Amino acid sequence: MRQLAQELVERAELEPDAIAVVDGEGVHTLREVVAQAGEVADLLDRSLVGAPTVLVQADNSWRTLAAAVAVGLRGGLIAVISGHAARSEYDLALEDIQPDAVIASAQAIATWQVDGATMPVVGEVLDGWPLRAAAGGRTTGVERWNGGVVIAMTSGSTGRPKCVVQSESALRYAGQATIDAVGLVPGDPVGALVPLSSVAAFCFGMHLPALLGSPMVCLDKWSPEDAVALLREHRVAWTMLVPTMALQLSLVAGSEGSLASLKAMTVGGGPMNTHALETAELHLGTRFLRVFGMSECLGHTTPLPTEPVATRLGRDGRPFPGTTVRVVDAGGRVLPDGEVGNAQVRGPSLFVGYAREGAPRMPDLTADGFFPTGDLARVNEDGTINILGREKQVIIRGGRNIDINEVEAALAAIPGVAQVCVVPVPDDLLGERAAALVVSAGPVLDLAAVREHLAAADFPKFKWPEFVYAVPALPQNRVGKLDRNGAVALATRLAAPGSGAAR
């Protein structure tokens, strides 16, 4: 973060009153943010010898930007963690990241039960937050991170959060590629609506506007109503949301045409349906850009706002300049355009590794440096790609495989379906059955209505869901992505005998 920190310091000297952040506490200028960052950097310098690794509670406010700048001024690495993290998550962060200092609210410090003997308080920063530094006053150095400057914890398929390490060059590459694709210019307000404790939100919600020289407009807690009001009031030019959040905006009363100030809204990180996205963007008066990216390779695809609906919403963009996405078969043979295979990616935003025991560990790459994403994909003739779900996202019903993505696409095409999630529920006889959680934009759809539509569409009967439950919203994780584990738990409860849930 050293380069960004120096740029903000220089910019603050030239434009001290330029707006850096708009958050729940008000408007904060570059001069204010840089001054706060300087205080943090000075205290770190007095407390620790060497460039530090600092674990910071990332909230959607000026504090996260000031902390990032401070760590950058000290040539260190910032590791971000949610203020809502449980003690067990904090303990994992200690194990994997081994920070030299911790900056968090007093409430988070108490929840995490930070050890005062090994990490004593050395002062207060960021308007009252304790800064704790390692006893002994020496850092373990940042050379151990192999060029990494930021770490964020993200959910992993094993149940253990992945501490993804990214470099400053990766952040700058992904941010600039997005700026160029959307057509953003300095001063364009950028919305930070997703919690900044995720790698993608840190990159695109905080680092991107700072890189661009624009205000970061923050929402401290997700609310569709508050998000619409914030975007409209501050005439935000671009933001990034997961599909569940983007579609929720269109259900807000009085939201018709409310997002006309947006040059585009990038949508990625979850299941998407062309019809639902088109309906929502027409209602909101903006344009969605359907993309594919991951914490391990930030951003890495996008369409352009000028492209037709079929490209912007029916496909998952083209790779950023310099990034390559390919699909291979089970043996690793590269497949021609139009064939479905396993997605692999290589490019400048590829991560440094996963933090484990205080150092980055890179998983196995291919011999030529590609990272297997774990997704099924197709490369189209025009260079766009389609992500077709996870490689193992199936329901096995009585020995027959049911592709979850295929069923979700069929249900999402039904008029009145705003969002849908299909999950397996356990069954003593067949092993698993398919259940659908449905958020409706109009009259509630029951099982009979859903099956009537699927029959009319000639959708294979063995793939029909056997349970359909109307829900006000789909389960989400902390960063707003669809929580499939939560969806499975909810559907299993609703499907249990005696639950009383309408099917």
99-109 confidence digits (pLDDT tens): 999 999 999 99
What's the pLDDT tens digit per position in 271-311? 677 888 999 999 999 999 999 988 999 989 999 999 999 99
Rounded-to-integer distance, Cα 265 and Cα 203, Å: 16
Print the domain residue range for 264: 1-379
CATH of the domain at 139: 3.40.50.12780
Which of 312, 317, 418, 294 has the alpha carbon at shortest distance from 363? 294
Greatest alpha-carbon span in the chain: 72
pLDDT tens-digit map of 66-97: 999 999 999 999 999 999 888 888 999 999 99
Asked if residue 219 belongs to a domain, the reply is: yes
Asked if residue 73 is part of any domain, the answer here is yes
| Sequence-ordered list of residues with C-beta below 8 angstroms from that of 426, at least 6 positions apart, any chain | 432, 492
How far is the C-alpha of 391 from the C-alpha of 374, rounded, in Å?
6
Boundary-marking domain end, from 326, 354, 379: 379
Cα angle 244-249-252, degrees, rounded to a multiple of 5: 130
Q: How confident is the model at residue 489 (pLDDT cuts 50, 70, 90)?
A: confident
Residue 450 has pLDDT above 70, yes or no: yes
Tell me which of 348, 379, 410 is where a domain ends.
379
- Using the structure block, give the residue that is written with the tokens 């704790």: 132
User: How many CB atoms are located within 10 Å of the residue 338 CB?
Assistant: 10
Is there a domain that residue 371 lies in? yes
Q: Kindly state whether residues 242 and 317 are assigned to the same domain.
A: yes
Q: In which band, very low, low, confident or very high, does the pLDDT at 429 lie, cut at 50, 70 and 90?
A: low
Rounded CA separation 80/197 (Å): 5
Q: Is 501 a member of any domain?
A: no
Q: Are residues 76 and 220 in the same domain?
A: yes
Based on the domain organization, do 246 and 330 belong to the same domain? Answer: yes
Residue from 344, 220, 368 nearest 294 by CA = 344
Tell whether the model's pLDDT for residue 238 goes beyond 50: yes
Mean pLDDT rounded to a whole number for the chain: 92
Provide the number of structural domains found in the chain.
2
More confident residue, 396 or 229: 229
Which pLDDT does position 120 carry in this prediction? 96
Residue 392 has what pLDDT? 58
Q: What is the pLDDT of residue 375?
A: 85
- Res. 63: pLDDT tops 90: yes
- What residue type is assigned to position 155 of the chain? S
For residue 147, name the pLDDT band (cuts at 50, 70, 90).
Answer: very high
Residue 398 pLDDT: 67
Domain boundary among 356, 379, 402: 379
pLDDT at 154: 75
351 found inside a domain? yes
304-314 as b/e: b if 16+ CB within 10 A: bbebeeebbbb
Amino acid at 302: T
Same domain? For 122 and 219 the reply is yes
Of 240, 195, 196, which is closest to residue 221 (Cα–Cα)? 195
418 and 345 part of one domain: no
Residue 478, pLDDT > 50, answer yes
CATH number (domain holding residue 410): 3.30.300.30
Which residues pair with residue 265 across a beta bridge? 239, 288
Structure tokens at 296: 């391990």
- 480 and 415 fall within a common domain: yes
More confident call, 376 vs 324: 324
All residues at 6 or more sequence positions from 94 whose CB lies less than 8 Å from its CB, including other chains: none
Query: Does 25 lie in the same domain as 53?
Result: yes
User: In which region does residue 285 sit, left (phi positive, over 0), alpha (psi from -120 to 50) or beta (all else)?
Assistant: left
pLDDT at 25 over 80: yes
Q: Look at residue 46 and tell me if it is in a domain.
A: yes
Distance CA 134, CA 100 (A): 5
Segment 332-350, tens digit of pLDDT:
999 999 998 999 999 999 9
On whether both 94 and 216 belong to a single domain, the answer is yes
Residues 143 and 173 in one domain: yes
102 and 227: one domain? yes
Comparing CA positions, the residue from 280, 492, 479, 269 lying closest to residue 390 is 269
Strand ranges of the sheet holding 264-267, from the earlier edge strand across to the other edge: 26-29, 19-23, 216-218, 190-192, 238-241, 264-267, 288-290
**Res. 430: pLDDT tops 80:** no
Residue 292 sits in the same domain as residue 351: yes
pLDDT for 157 equals 47
Residue among 149, 158, 14, 167 nearest 70 (CA):
149
- 174 and 275 within one domain: yes
pTM comes to 0.82
In a domain, 480, yes or no: yes
Answer whether residue 183 shows pLDDT above 50. Answer: yes
Predicted pLDDT at 22: 98
* 257-275 b/e (C-beta count within 10 Å ≥ 16 → b): ebbebbbbbbbbbbbbbbe
The predicted pLDDT at position 208 comes to: 98
CB neighbourhood size of 333 (10 A): 9
Residue 349 lies in a domain: yes
